Amino acid sequence: MSADTRALTLRWGVEQTFAPVDRASGNAVATSVRRTLREEWVCLEDWVKAYHPRAAREAWSCSFNEAPPKQTLNWFTPAEY
């Protein structure tokens, strides 16, 4: 991982985890989150200013973590889990 990417993940409070190499489902969670981000956040906006994506990401992150409950988390929200 590049130093810039590592610094950004630390600043955003993102914890890096490694997918198991020998399992087909190893990267499924990361792929799912990335797809959800793209569909619910990136593709729906018409970005005008450079700082708009950061504010939108923060708002999306709050809404994703608070609601709705997720079946994979035994019907808890990510924040509750």
pLDDT tens, residue by residue, 34-81 = 888 778 777 777 777 767 777 877 887 888 778 788 888 888 888 888
pTM score? 0.42
Confidence (pLDDT) at 1: 57
Name the nearest CA neighbour of 64 among 77, 48, 46, 80. 77
For residue 15, being part of any structural domain is answered with: no
Residue 4 lies in a domain: no
Condensed to tens digits (0 to 9), the pLDDT of residues 2-23 reads 888 888 888 888 887 776 777 6
Question: Is there a domain that residue 2 lies in?
Answer: no
Query: How many domains does one find in the chain?
Result: 1
Q: Does 75 map to a domain? A: yes
CB 69 within 8 A of CB 77: yes
* Residue indicated by tokens 């990361």: 30
Classify residue 15 by its DSSP letter.
P
State the DSSP H helix or E strand holding residue 75, giving kind and residue range, or none if neither.
Answer: none
Parent domain of 74: 28-81
First to last CA, the chain: 28
